[in-house]
Amino acid sequence: MIVEPLVLTEGALSGALLSEITGLYASNREFHRLSGDFPDPDDIRPGQVAAAVMDELAQPHAQVLLARSAGKLTGIAATLAHHPDPADPDPWIGLLMVHADAQRAGTGRELAAYVEDGFRRQGRKGVRLAVLENNTAALRFWTATGYLVTGRSEDRERHRPCAVMRKTL
């Protein structure tokens, strides 16, 4: 797997890249049904995906990473080097999504490890994330990769119940 930071072209996603990312998002219908992030999880549109990605990048110290295997986009991760709460010293994984065709093949674990290794090289001591409480598959995944539930909270945008998880690096 090759992981590279998302690079915008003149401040926007190029058409071909946007099509790839839209395909990845659209392949995860069940997640979008749980999250409610898109009005119709069966009809996810490029403009909606572009807005979602640009919202991720609008956060201070944010980065979006793209994972490819055999030339195909297999995963996306959005990270925050610093949480908006200044009392929180840890970086955060805001999103980690794997194309449905690449799930259960180790892609998510490999992408998560890539993100963690990057933070480890920066001298960070841990990494956090929040998982929607209704997303039992994600809770199992993150627990299996060494994350522990440290608390409960609501997400900042939609006030959905979440499990806050942390992994010591």
Residue 112: burial class (beta carbons within 10 Å; 0-12, 13-18, 19+): buried
Q: How far is C-alpha 115 from the chain's CA centre?
A: 10
Summarize pLDDT for 118-141 with one digit per residue, the tens: 999 999 999 999 999 999 999 999
Structural tokens at position 109: 């674990």
Per-residue DSSP letter, 155:
-
| Distance separating alpha carbons of residues 166 and 92, to the nearest angstrom | 9
Q: How confident is the model at residue 22 (pLDDT cuts 50, 70, 90)?
A: very high
- 50 pLDDT higher than 90: yes
CATH number among 1.10.150.390, 3.40.630.30, 3.30.420.40, 3.40.50.2300, domain 2-168:
3.40.630.30
Query: How would you list the strands of the sheet with 62-69, edge to edge?
Result: 2-5, 62-69, 72-80, 92-98, 126-132, 161-168, 148-154
Token digits of residue 95? 């999103």
CA distance 34 to 131: 11
Query: Mean pLDDT for the chain?
Result: 94
pLDDT at 11: 86
pLDDT, residue 60, reads 86
Helices (H) and strands (E) in the chain, counts: 5, 7
- Do 74 and 102 meet the contact criterion of CB atoms below 8 Å apart? yes
pLDDT digits (tens, 9 = 90+) for 141-165: 999 999 999 999 988 778 899 999 9
**Residue ranges per domain, the chain?**
2-168
Kindly indicate the confidence band of residue 56, based on its pLDDT and cuts at 50, 70 and 90.
very high
Give start and end residues of each alpha helix (H) in 38-162: 46-57, 107-121, 136-144
